[in-house]
Amino acid sequence: MTSVAKKSVIVIGGGIAGLTAGALIASEGFKVTLLEAHSQIGGCAGTFRRGPFVFDVGATQVAGFENGGIHERIFRHLRCPLPLAEILDPACIVHLGDGTSPIHLWHDPKKWQKEREEQFPGSDQFWSLCSQLHKSNWSFASNDPILPVQNFWDLIQFLKAGRSMNAFTGLFTRSSVADLLWLCSCNQDQRLRRFLDLQLKLYSQVPTEQTAALYGATVLQMAQSPLGLWHLKGSMQTLSNHLLSGFMRYGGELLLRHKVVSLVAKNSRDPWTINVVTENSLSKQFQASDVIFTLPPQCLLSLMSDQTGLPIKYRYRLEELSQPSGAIVFYGAISRSYLPLDWVGHVQLMTEKLGSLFISISHDGDGRAPLGKATVIASCFTDITTWTSLAESDYQKHKDINLHNILEILHSELHIGPDTWLHKELATPNSFARWTGRPQGIVGGLGQTPTTFGPFGLPSRTPMQGLWLCGDSIYPGEGTAGVSQSAVMACRQLMSEYGRDFNLTR
Ligand SMILES: Cc1cc2nc3c(=O)[nH]c(=O)nc-3n(C[C@H](O)[C@H](O)[C@H](O)COP(=O)(O)OP(=O)(O)OC[C@H]3O[C@@H](n4cnc5c(N)ncnc54)[C@H](O)[C@@H]3O)c2cc1C
């Protein structure tokens, strides 16, 4: 076993992926420095304040808080308390926008089954196929597999994790959720299709036709016991803050307002040089044996110019990654009395102008708004190319039109007038680019199609020794639970290079 006492690891990015990776590596005795460009941690799962209101920037609900869930296991491993959270039940109320009754995603599997039977008669076979695939997937994912496999060690880990998977699952590796519908003779059910399109797009960035069957089967069952979706007490920031406590507890060093501007791979004992610009425009240089890179992998294209060690073939691979979406997010505050009684937690609306609008409403007394008031966050996907090509004056116009469209929908659904808002503002891809440093404000990873998910995705192990990727472009994909799982994978690989067998507590 190689001593790790002097091995220094730099983690780039203080979102959930970076904080998780940093805390885990630090807990193993490595010297870890986390470089974060912003003045606060959290990234897409951070928060900001406006007067008495606290808004979750991006993520508003979390998976993996149940016993044995990825966040729970990480906090248990770090011997740190899990942030306080309550289960969302229903996890979401989905309005298909066709005048039919909304669909409630209940936590209790029996209640959810009854809801499905009433809402989508004749679809039992589809759901039971999804359930079988999900069970097999889940037992695989819970063994912390390494995907995609890049070397012999990865292969062994993959095979170990795959022992519990049933062979039947393998048949569906190249299938889409639409194929599952077809197999179960549900492909003509337009209402079911509409529901699946809405839900799947949230998690996989693509509709039913393009969502990988194995991925879709699992995300369609995230809301039900024994899993579930959770609402954090206080705000989303508590997740980052708790991870940071774990990181600090094991001696990790956090440097805020340290923006990485380039990475250079050398061939010496300390192969990586990381160049940083601080808030006061000071240039700083860091050396590290390993770098855990949590920014979208496309960022490497600008951070590693020619002659910095980025292999040409890998550059091409990064250049050819699919174009992710951007997001438009409305942050509003309102008196609770204006909210319909059944508008609790999360509501998804199918709208003509904006497609899916996902609405998150704070709970009374949850720390986001004073009692009797609520924060209302409404988000939808947007094509980033329409935003990046705009001149400044057109940008403002486009932003105003989008704000108007979201407000129009909310006013009509809530039967309220424009003066009702106690606060309102809109974030565009440009805002996300500023807040998170994501190029052009891309969010949510690479999409989960049969050709890009799991074994066919971008590996966390790069062709450059000591450079590890994690975050929402890496298996198993977006979401705080997903990026945490990817951080565990990168940490396992990194530690195996030092002869360390790192396994998360079960
Ligand atoms: C609108 C929206 C809604 C979402 N809803 C949910 C949800 O309800 N539930 C859920 O689980 N997930 C949700 N997600 C997804 C989830 O937020 C992300 O998958 C996850 O937070 C990504 O974490 P990350 O650490 O990989 O990346 P990020 O959060 O992007 O973190 C990267 C960090 O790197 C920093 N950084 C960037 N450039 C540099 C640089 N050059 N040098 C140093 N630091 C740098 C950034 O400031 C940032 O802090 C949502 C995302 C969005 C955008």
Q: Where are the domains of the chain?
A: 8-47+61-84+234-322+444-497, 89-228, 326-441
pLDDT of 268:
61
Q: How far is the CA of 238 from the centre of ligand 1 (A)?
A: 15
In words, the CATH class of domain 8-47+61-84+234-322+444-497 is alpha beta
Write the CB contacts of 498 (distance below 8 Å, at least 6 apart in sequence): 1, 2, 4, 7
Strand order in the sheet with 373-382: 103-104, 93-95, 346-351, 355-361, 373-382, 326-335, 423-427
CA 347/CA 91 separation, integer angstroms: 9
Do the strands 85-87 and 230-232 form a parallel or antiparallel pair, or are they unpaired?
antiparallel
Q: How far is the CA of 368 from the centre of ligand 1 (A)?
A: 20
Helix 480-497 to helix 152-162 angle, to the nearest 10 degrees? 130
CA 192/CA 79 separation, integer angstroms: 43
Q: How far is the CA of 328 from the centre of ligand 1 (A)?
A: 15
Handedness of CA 493, 495, 499, 503 (dihedral sign): negative
277-334 pLDDT, tens digit per residue, is 999 999 999 999 999 999 999 999 999 988 888 999 999 999 999 888 999 999 999 9
Q: How far is the CA of 152 from the centre of ligand 1 (A)?
A: 31
Phi, psi (rounded to 5 degrees) for 80: -120, 150
Measured from the Cβ of residue 262, the count of other Cβ atoms closer than 10 Å reads 15
Mutate-to-test residue for ligand 1 from 20, 44, 237, 276, highest number of ligand atoms within 8 A of CB: 44
Residue 16 beta carbon below 6 angstroms from any ligand 1 atom: yes
Residue 379 beta carbon below 6 angstroms from any ligand 1 atom: yes
Atom of ligand 1 nearest to the CA of 261: 41
Residue 88 beta carbon below 6 angstroms from any ligand 1 atom: no
Mutate-to-test residue for ligand 1 from 39, 232, 295, 377, highest number of ligand atoms within 8 A of CB: 295
Q: How far is the CA of 16 from the centre of ligand 1 (A)?
A: 7
Give nearest CA residue, ligand 1 atom 38.
437
Q: Whole-model pTM?
A: 0.97
Atom of ligand 1 nearest to the CA of 19: 25
Angle among Cα 284, 285, 289 to the nearest 5 degrees reads: 150
What is the DSSP code (8-state) at residue 253? E
Atom of ligand 1 nearest to the CA of 17: 25
pLDDT of 69:
96
Q: Which helix (H) or strand (E) holds 9?
A: strand 8-12
Residue 487 beta carbon below 6 angstroms from any ligand 1 atom: no
Residue 438 beta carbon below 6 angstroms from any ligand 1 atom: yes
Q: How far is the CA of 57 from the centre of ligand 1 (A)?
A: 9
Q: How far is the CA of 472 from the centre of ligand 1 (A)?
A: 8
pLDDT of 270:
65
Residue 89 beta carbon below 6 angstroms from any ligand 1 atom: no
Write the CB contacts of 104 (distance below 8 Å, at least 6 apart in sequence): 90, 93, 94, 115
pLDDT of 1:
45
Q: How far is the CA of 43 from the centre of ligand 1 (A)?
A: 4
CA 34/CA 46 separation, integer angstroms: 16
Atom of ligand 1 nearest to the CA of 486: 26
pLDDT of 305:
87
pLDDT of 344:
82
Atom of ligand 1 nearest to the CA of 61: 8
Do the strands 355-361 and 346-351 form a parallel or antiparallel pair, or are they unpaired?
antiparallel
Residue 69 beta carbon below 6 angstroms from any ligand 1 atom: no
Q: How far is the CA of 344 from the centre of ligand 1 (A)?
A: 25
Give nearest CA residue, ligand 1 atom 52.
58
Q: How far is the CA of 122 from the centre of ligand 1 (A)?
A: 39
For residues 4 and 498, the answer to whether their CB atoms sit within 8 Å is: yes
Residue 326 beta carbon below 6 angstroms from any ligand 1 atom: no
Residue-wise pLDDT tens for the chain (506 aa)? Answer: 445 555 799 999 999 999 999 999 999 999 999 999 999 999 999 999 999 999 999 999 999 999 999 999 999 999 999 999 999 999 999 999 999 999 999 999 999 999 999 999 999 999 999 999 999 999 898 999 999 999 999 999 999 998 867 778 889 999 999 999 999 999 999 999 999 999 999 999 999 999 999 999 999 999 999 999 999 999 999 999 999 999 999 999 999 999 999 999 977 666 899 999 999 999 999 999 999 999 999 999 999 988 888 999 999 999 999 888 999 999 999 999 999 988 889 999 999 999 999 999 999 999 999 999 999 999 999 999 999 889 988 999 999 999 999 999 999 999 999 999 999 999 999 999 999 999 999 999 999 999 999 899 999 999 999 999 999 999 999 999 999 999 999 999 999 999 999 999 77
